[in-house]
């Protein structure tokens, strides 16, 4: 009987593969049937990456995928297996330190995720079993359980709404934790279960639910419930998003609800939305890898040269086997090739410290700790929302200083998304008032002013349409979180749209029959109502582009004039239309809507078809104009970004006229900017639109590219045109460009279009779908040179472009928090982008670039004397430094000063960076990590390494350095070289420091003091675990010689002399050009700016001379 009943209910529709069947309350449909437990996932949420058992192997595997870690692991194994000149500890200890620190950091972060998961999974919930409430942990909920949720509680899983304490079967929820929207959303219980308001009644329900398999779209759900009653035919009801209560949402203004679990655990929509975020890599990481390859080649070259020269040296029998060191029988019988390979590996081990493995952990710590400065910035704190900036990922801090293209949304990003009613027109007659929606309250500033007057019946019809065609709900006054407005201090308006309260003025009693919900494709919404006299009316409101084609054409012109004028003034416009329905027409529409709602397959398409047929042959009543004001300082911010060499593109879904007006207001377009349009109006709707598009593209291409003479001097980040151009394109034309037919002669549309865009100072893309926004960003991101892109937006429709760009920034706006949660950084207002990029971005980039170059420099200084030493010890692989010094050089002696520098350095005052945007261009195009500055640092390291070694070598030409005639040994030689090395590289950093704090002083002078203390301590004690006590009393004995003291001081001065000379010459040059004092660092990779454009030359910018900076 059940099978026959279901066949009748689902006639003509095959069972869909991607569906699931849920038995409500785990109660079989027929008492004679045995209940078979359903196999669905449990309700545990798992956001953690590791478990206690897999942490060690999984974390080690991930860490050794990094090339430097894997390289040092190989070196360590070689030291263990092969008889190498240095102990395995020298490579193993630094590697162990790096692996341990990274593992602790990642383990701690994962522990926090575990703790957050347990808070959710162990929370208490109430489940109805055998007509009683049973308290369980959230993780024990199963699909099919009936769950009770009370007011202000969050839903523990995705539930189908069955019944509530409200008589009408409705409840209100906020989805702040899902999409950030704090306004109320109304959900509806299944019509036939609304009366089941007690535990006993709901437990008696016998029903099954068929629905789609889990998918991440928060706003889509397709299903149906089949209710079984004794001696009656089963009843089937459609289920949609309005019946689904999502995990993470909060119940509001409703005492309790009952719902049945359909998706649990990692199958809930919330869990599916937090998976699969792509990993972004910064340009600095790519530069590090390139430099690493260069130093790896240097290492291989050194090992090859030493191995070759060793066997050249040993070609002399006396050198190969001297009388005091004869070979054993085993050594003589070893294959020469094998001996050469072993020697090569030994030299690799000896020189391996040229690869700075500790740099990776220092970079990670710098990024992690440095990100707190953004969160702590008080100037980026917003008093209105009581929140500051948020850093979701610290891996891209330095990328903020390299941005070339900024893609921004308009509504809620450049504008406030706070609507103020400006005027309306009815049958072409203008009515003006001042009604605003401020902080959720409806305010009126005086009587309505009208210019001419429409018929009273049309005025009433227009106002009724606004009163009825909306999603505002009226509730008794209570404490609420949503957008609200008071009516006679007794009722509360609750709306899901921020501009509807500004339009709703009152309500008359009508019977609501159907709501044809708004969606971004239709760009309109409608309601069907029955008046008190029985008349059936359809009211529709939406964008003019979606309303005008569906009304009588002769009614359009008188309203279109007002709509176009309002759009030119920058107002958001809505058109209002109506249609009177006969009872027969309504019955047909009602039947078609119910059939479409019952469909499990292609429900959206079937509903859209019914909506399309219903919203036809309407009559236009009028239009409204609502202003969305510009955010504070948005115009100044865009000007600053332009001055910093960035190109700003606005990507919006608004109509062209409104967006263009906003672009003029925020100074994206100047009055002198010549606008080029690629819109549907310019292209036309004829069959020749592809040909017309091709003509426009070629015309603009000729104007911007072919007719402009090529520029000399290698100008970067400049538009090189005396006339500024702006481009406007709409979504339909963009689709034509990106999806042009392959067989047409215009298949190169995309390349021509891209060339035009890149030559324009500003681009406006209007009528953009979310996917098209991402396509635009991807197109620019993949151009030659791979420019760094940044996307900023505030709504869910901006998420796609935020994820696509190199850097994604979310605005904590009124359209929810989905954008800020999916972004890399979140800020309260658009104006905060200025300081984020011009100050924080600039400083982060300079700091980390200096860190990377300094690490390679100090390791080259460290290893070059070791390489030179082989020429004086017969290439015997004798180490120059003691094993303790080899191990602790990068870990203890030189690590903290550069970490402090990379966190605290301000080579230019923050206020100066913010007030003069052109300083941003000085570090553009990854300037400080190009090959030229890299070679400068490399040659500097090579020069200092030569000074260290040969300076001490010439000191040792005197056979006796002590009064008693004793001679210093090879460990003293190495220790003197190492002492000069540590002091020189540390003082080099002190010379580079422009912003001194107590912490800089502490780590720089403290590191030098620690080295001296450690050397005395290490050589002053006989350590029982050491087989050879070769450093015993070496350091203390070394310092008894006056010659040694003089040599150390002299060599440090000679090594730093080029740097000191450059600073002195720079100061002399600056004093000749100005009278006021100033101080600015000599950064060799800074680029000179001429006439507002950056030239790729290596001098310090003259522009910076205007800005004094005191040393603190």
Q: What are the C-alpha distances in Å from 1104 to residues 720, 917, 1082, 1090?
A: 23, 11, 11, 12
Of the residues 179, 395, 409, 654, only one is catalytic, namely 409
User: Which tokens go with 134?
Assistant: 């049973």
> Helical H runs in 581-740?
583-598, 603-614, 634-643, 656-665, 680-683, 689-701, 731-738
Indicate if the alpha-carbon torsion angle 524, 527, 531, 535 is positive or negative: positive
Residue in the structure block whose two tokens are 């800005």: 1107
Q: What are the C-alpha distances in Å from 273 to residues 154, 263, 961?
A: 17, 14, 73
Among 223, 220, 213, residue whose Cα is nearest residue 263? 213
249 touches 178 (CB < 8 A): yes
User: Which tokens go with 521?
Assistant: 């494709």
What is the SS3 assignment for 70? helix
Burial 845-871 (b: 16+ CB within 10 A, else e): bbbbbbbbbbbbbbbbbbbbbbbbbbe
CA dihedral of 754, 758, 760, 763, whole degrees rounded to 10: 60
C-alpha span between 825 and 832 (Å, rounded): 11
> Helical H runs in 811-930?
818-822, 832-835, 842-869, 883-888, 895-904, 910-915
CA dihedral of 419, 422, 425, 431, whole degrees rounded to 10: 140
Among 911, 941, 1015, 919, residue whose Cα is nearest residue 972? 1015
User: Which tokens go with 242?
Assistant: 């309005």
User: Which tokens go with 642?
Assistant: 């332009």
877 touches 350 (CB < 8 A): yes
C-alpha span between 558 and 310 (Å, rounded): 96
Among 822, 832, 778, 765, residue whose Cα is nearest residue 797? 822
Indicate if the alpha-carbon torsion angle 1050, 1054, 1060, 1064 is positive or negative: positive
What is the SS3 assignment for 983? helix
List Cβ neighbours of 586 (8 Å cut-off, separation of 6 or more). Answer: 513, 528, 536
Indicate if the alpha-carbon torsion angle 689, 695, 698, 701 is positive or negative: negative
Among 828, 932, 952, residue whose Cα is nearest residue 880? 952
Among 539, 546, 500, residue whose Cα is nearest residue 523? 546
Q: What are the C-alpha distances in Å from 1092 to residues 762, 916, 1099?
A: 17, 12, 16
C-alpha span between 950 and 940 (Å, rounded): 16
Q: CA 643, 648, 653 angle in degrees (round to 5)? A: 155
C-alpha span between 275 and 959 (Å, rounded): 70
Per the annotation, the verdict on 409 as an active-site residue is: yes
Among 8, 18, 5, 29, residue whose Cα is nearest residue 208? 29
Among 411, 452, 407, 408, residue whose Cα is nearest residue 431? 452
C-alpha span between 437 and 919 (Å, rounded): 41
Catalytic residue positions, numbered: 409
């Amino acid at each position: 009987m059940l099978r026959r009943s279901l066949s009748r209910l689902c006639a003509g529709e095959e069972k869909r593969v991607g569906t699931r069947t849920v038995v409500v309350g785990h109660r079989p449909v027929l008492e004679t049937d045995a209940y078979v437990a359903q196999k669905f996932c449990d309700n545990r949420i798992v956001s953690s990456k590791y478990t206690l058992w897999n942490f060690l192997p999984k974390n080690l595997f991930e860490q050794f995928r990094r090339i430097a870690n894997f390289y040092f692991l190989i070196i360590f194994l070689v030291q263990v297996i092969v008889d190498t000149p240095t102990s395995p500890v020298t490579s193993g200890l630094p590697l162990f330190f790096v692996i341990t620190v990274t593992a602790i950091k990642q383990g701690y972060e994962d522990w926090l995720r575990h703790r957050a998961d347990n808070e959710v999974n162990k929370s208490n919930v109430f489940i109805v079993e055998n007509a009683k409430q049973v308290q369980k942990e959230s993780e024990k909920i199963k699909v099919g359980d009936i769950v009770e949720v009370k007011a202000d509680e969050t839903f523990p899983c995705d539930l189908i709404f069955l019944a509530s304490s409200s008589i009408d079967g409705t409840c209100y929820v906020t989805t702040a934790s899902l999409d950030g929207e704090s306004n109320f959303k109304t959900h509806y219980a299944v019509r036939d279960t609304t009366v089941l308001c007690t535990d006993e009644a709901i437990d008696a329900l016998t029903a099954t639910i068929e629905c789609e398999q889990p998918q991440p779209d928060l706003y889509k759900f397709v299903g149906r419930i089949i209710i079984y009653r004794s001696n009656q035919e089963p009843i089937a009801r459609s289920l949609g998003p309005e019946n689904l209560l999502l995990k993470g949402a909060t119940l509001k203004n409703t005492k309790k609800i009952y719902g049945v679990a359909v998706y649990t655990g990692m199958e809930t929509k919330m869990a599916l939305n937090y998976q699969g975020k792509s990993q972004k890599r910064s340009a600095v990481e790519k530069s590090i890898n390139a430099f690493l390859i260069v130093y790896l080649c240097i290492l291989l070259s050194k090992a090859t040269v030493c191995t070759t020269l060793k066997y050249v040296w040993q070609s002399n029998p006396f050198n190969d086997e001297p009388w005091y060191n004869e070979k054993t029988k085993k050594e003589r019988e070893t294959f020469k090739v094998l001996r050469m390979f072993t020697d090569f590996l030994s030299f690799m081990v000896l020189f391996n410290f040229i690869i700075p493995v500790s740099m990776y952990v220092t970079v990670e710590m710098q990024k992690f700790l440095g990100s707190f400065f953004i969160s702590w910035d008080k100037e980026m704190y917003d008093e209105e929302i009581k929140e500051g900036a948020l850093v979701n990922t610290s891996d891209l801090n330095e990328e903020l200083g390299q941005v070339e293209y900024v893609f921004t949304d308009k509504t809620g990003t450049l504008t406030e998304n706070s609507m103020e009613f400006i005027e309306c027109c009815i049958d072409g007659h203008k009515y003006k008032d001042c009604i605003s929606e401020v902080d959720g309250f409806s305010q009126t500033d005086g009587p309505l002013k009208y210019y001419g007057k429409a018929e009273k019946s049309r005025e009433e019809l227009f106002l009724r349409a606004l009163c009825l065609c909306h999603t505002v709900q009226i509730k008794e006054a209570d404490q609420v979180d949503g957008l609200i407005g008071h009516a006679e201090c007794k009722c509360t308006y609750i709306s899901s749209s921020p501009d509807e309260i500004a339009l709703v003025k009152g309500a008359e009693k009508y019977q609501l029959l159907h709501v044809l919900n708004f969606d971004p494709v239709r760009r309109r919404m409608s309601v069907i109502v029955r008046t008190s006299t029985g008349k059936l009316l359809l009211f529709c409101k939406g964008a003019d582009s979606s309303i005008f084609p569906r009304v009588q054409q002769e009614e359009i012109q008188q309203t279109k004039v007002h709509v176009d004028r309002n759009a030119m003034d920058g107002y958001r416009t809505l058109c209002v239309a109506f249609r009177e329905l006969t009872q027969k027409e309504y019955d047909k529409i009602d039947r078609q809507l119910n059939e479409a709602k019952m469909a499990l397959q292609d429900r959206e398409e079937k509903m859209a078809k019914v909506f399309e047929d219903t919203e036809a042959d309407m009559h236009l009543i009028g239009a409204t104009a609502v202003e969305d004001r510009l955010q504070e300082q948005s115009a100044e911010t865009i000007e600053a970004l332009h001055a910093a060499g960035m190109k700003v593109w606005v990507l919006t879904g608004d109509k062209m006229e409104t967006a263009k007006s906003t672009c003029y207001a925020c100074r994206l377009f100047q009055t002198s900017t010549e606008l080029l349009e690629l819109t549907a109006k310019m292209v036309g709707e004829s069959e020749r639109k592809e040909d017309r598009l091709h003509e426009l593209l070629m015309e603009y291409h000729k104007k911007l590219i072919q007719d402009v003479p090529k520029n000399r001097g290698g100008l970067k980040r400049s538009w090189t045109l005396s006339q500024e151009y702006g481009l406007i394109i709409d979504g339909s034309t963009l689709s034509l460009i990106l999806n042009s037919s392959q067989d047409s002669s215009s298949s190169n549309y995309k390349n021509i279009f891209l060339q035009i865009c890149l030559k324009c100072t500003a681009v406006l893309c209007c009528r953009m779908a979310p996917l098209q926004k991402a396509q635009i960003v991807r197109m620019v991101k993949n151009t030659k040179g791979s420019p760094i892109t940044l996307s900023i937006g505030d709504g869910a429709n901006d998420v796609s472009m935020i994820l696509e760009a190199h850097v994604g920034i979310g605005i904590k706006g009124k359209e929810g928090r989905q954008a800020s949660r999916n972004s890399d950084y979140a800020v309260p207002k658009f104006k905060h982008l200025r300081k984020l990029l011009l100050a924080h971005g600039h400083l982060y980039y300079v700091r980390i670039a200096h860190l990377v170059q300094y690490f390679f420099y100090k390791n080259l200084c460290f290893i070059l004397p070791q390489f030179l030493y082989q020429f004086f010890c017969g290439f015997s692989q004798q180490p120059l430094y003691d094993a303790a010094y080899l191990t602790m050089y990068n870990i203890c002696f030189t690590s903290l000063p550069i970490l402090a520098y990379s966190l605290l350095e301000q080579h230019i005052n923050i206020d100066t960076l913010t007030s003069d945007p052109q300083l941003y261009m000085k570090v553009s195009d990854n300037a400080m990590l190009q090959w030229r500055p890299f070679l400068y640092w490399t040659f500097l390291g090579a020069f200092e390494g030569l000074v260290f070694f040969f300076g001490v070598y010439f000191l040792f030409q005197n056979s006796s350095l002590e009064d008693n005639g004793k001679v210093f040994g090879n460990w003293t030689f190495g220790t003197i070289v190492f002492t000069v090395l540590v002091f020189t590289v540390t003082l080099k950093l002190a010379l580079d420091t422009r912003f001194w704090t107590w912490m800089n002083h502490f780590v720089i002078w403290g590191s030098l003091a620690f080295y001296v203390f450690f050397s005395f301590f290490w050589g002053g004690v006989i350590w029982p675990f050491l087989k050879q006590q070769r450093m015993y009393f070496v350091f203390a004995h070394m310092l008894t010689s006056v010659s040694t003291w003089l040599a150390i001081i002299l060599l440090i001065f000679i090594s730093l002399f080029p740097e000191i000379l450059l600073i002195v010459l720079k100061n002399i040059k600056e004093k000749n050009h100005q009278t006021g004092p100033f101080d600015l660092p000599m950064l060799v990779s800074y680029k000179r700016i001429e006439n507002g454009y950056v030239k790729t030359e290596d001098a310090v910018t003259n522009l910076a001379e205007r800005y004094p900076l005191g040393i603190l």
